[in-house]
Structure 1
């Protein structure tokens, strides 16, 4: 794992490279080798930031890049206090900066920064989808947006020193991989979905046609390692077991590649998966999961990522633990880097 104290560069999902020359009291940032801005830093209980010099990039982009650098550099940093001569209209309108009662002073809150969908989503569609209530199978729920295709989330994990990304599953591309993962004894002991290629093709085709479930492949440095199902809880079998909100999302998780197991990898991909779901629609207030109640290792990993166990309950096929993570709790304790 990378030491954040040694951090000198970060990569953006666009492919651009953000590089820094940082001392205790000064920070100079460049983007793709071109100077971006220079800041004076006053470190204390809050990090005070004064803009000394701004170069050719739009100011809003430069301020965002500086906030990203400073939050990624120090995951414990919760607030940046900016001193600016001119009103940063773009940054204020987006929620990146909040005006204070002091003239020329603005705050950037970590809890707000990580809720901004760009550039992690690339293109955000679901959050602007209008609400219309419909009834499916006797369940009343919002009409869901058309499911995305391709890559939906990408972020460089500075702590892990690797890209973590999510893309939609493509049956022809991913069937053999999915089949191998499901027939692994370790996976089969919890998923109980062993079978042939044709059985798994039918399984994935059914989910592909189901508007309430999105099938995803998790990647580290663009190498597939995991399979996830993200579902709308209101239409799911879990709905009768708790008071499901209209935009609650649920997750099923499978790590297929042995070399990507372990708590440090879980911390990266689980936080990325939850981050994606909260960004995908700002109306989503909770992410839930229902692992087997005896899957102590997975439940422990989820506790480490701020999920709590609301209760245990009985599905027809298993005793499950209802794991819940609220939006406010996730972003308040957000350790993304």
Structure 2
């Protein structure tokens, strides 16, 4: 649902607070108290956006911010039609603007906008890592990029009024927290990884040395609440069951803090995790998940995010459901705000 832009400013990673003065036919955006862009809006089958004033020092940033505001305020808005006096080559080079046959008229597509890596990825490496095929444990797959360290994703969720972010797990900082979460009977029922601190240290150390796995901590307003494992499906045990492509990703998820359970929180962190995995490498076309087949609640949450249940299959330790989300489907119906 659209939110009340007049009373609710948006926050941007490393940019600060974005606020607006908006009427039926106008939009003025201010970033950190400085005027950024003024627009005249003409509703129609496609919302027409006529530029009136723009900060000449921050043209690219101003156009991006306007797209963000208009797409975030109305999840049903799929396309913007820009009317600009001058071309903006940088915006066209990134896919923020698409040229049309009509001079001075450009399009912004929701599907493309949410695939732009910045500012969500921040300082993390977002360039495409070159491809070289290699063999490991009898599996042929691309060489994987070095793992990132620190925060890899941040977005302000206007529905929660909170920051949702992902950072890499640091064993010395997170071991006790991770062990406490795994020993929670609710978590242990599905993960079956309960144990001592030393057992959990050994487990996390093994993952840290595994190029195909990335361990992450999920945070709301910088407070850790969840643990995620992202992995490259081609090298994983799931590969034979999903016909894994070279850049398919998978994920394991647990919410450790009871105060952050609930469908509204799941919708926020799960969309953030999926968004990050698709942004991390544009060659990733699918995300696969293999929850226990009897975990109806988690499967339902995944389906709410656009995943579909492909089949059930047997791992040695569990009966699993193969649940899949394609890149095109995620961005075509992208409801991030």
Q: State TM-score, norm by structure 2.
A: 0.98
Preserved CA contact (<8 Å) 1:4 1:158: no
- The change in CA–CA distance for 1:140 and 1:121 in structure 2 (over 3 A counts) is same
Q: After superposition, give the CA deviation of every residue in 1:12-48 in whole Å (9 maximum; x if it has no partner).
A: 1004111110111000011110111100011122211
SS of 2:230's equivalent in the other structure is strand
Preserved CA contact (<8 Å) 1:213 1:231: yes
- The change in CA–CA distance for 1:313 and 1:4 in structure 2 (over 3 A counts) is farther
- Equivalent residues in 2 for 1:182-201, closer than 5 Å: 182-201=182-201
CA distance in 1, matches of 2:165, 2:231: 18
1:318 aligns with 2:323: no
CA distance in 2, matches of 1:127, 1:103: 32
Q: After superposition, give the CA deviation of every residue in 1:178-197 in whole Å (9 maximum; x if it has no partner).
A: 01100001000000111011
User: Which residue does the alignment assign to 1:22?
Assistant: 22
SS of 1:58's equivalent in the other structure is helix
CA distance in 1, matches of 2:32, 2:153: 22
Q: After superposition, give the CA deviation of every residue in 1:142-171 in whole Å (9 maximum; x if it has no partner).
A: 000100000000000112111000000000
User: Which residue does the alignment assign to 2:207?
Assistant: 207
SS of 2:92's equivalent in the other structure is helix
Q: After superposition, give the CA deviation of every residue in 1:258-294 in whole Å (9 maximum; x if it has no partner).
A: 1111111111000000000000000000001000000
1:114 aligns with 2:99: no
User: Which residue does the alignment assign to 1:44?
Assistant: 44
Preserved CA contact (<8 Å) 2:255 2:261: yes
Query: How many aligned positions are there?
Result: 337
State the 1:57 CA deviation.
3.2
CA distance in 1, matches of 2:225, 2:34: 35
User: Which residue does the alignment assign to 2:139?
Assistant: 139
Q: Which runs of 4+ in 1 moved over 6 A?
A: none
SS of 1:135's equivalent in the other structure is strand
Q: Which moved more, 1:291-300 or 1:155-164?
A: 155-164
User: Which residue does the alignment assign to 1:84?
Assistant: 84
User: Which residue does the alignment assign to 2:162?
Assistant: 162
CA distance in 2, matches of 1:228, 1:178: 11
Preserved CA contact (<8 Å) 1:126 1:145: no
User: Which residue does the alignment assign to 2:59?
Assistant: 59
CA distance in 1, matches of 2:2, 2:204: 36
Preserved CA contact (<8 Å) 1:218 1:227: yes
- Equivalent residues in 2 for 1:1-337, closer than 5 Å: 3-4=3-4, 7-125=7-125, 127-337=127-337
- The change in CA–CA distance for 1:172 and 1:105 in structure 2 (over 3 A counts) is same
List alignment gaps of at least 5 residues for structure 1.
none
CA distance in 1, matches of 2:304, 2:94: 31
SS of 2:57's equivalent in the other structure is coil
State the 1:126 CA deviation.
5.2
Q: State TM-score, norm by structure 1.
A: 0.98
State the 1:8 CA deviation.
3.5
State the 1:122 CA deviation.
1.0
Q: After superposition, give the CA deviation of every residue in 1:59-78 in whole Å (9 maximum; x if it has no partner).
A: 11110010011111111111
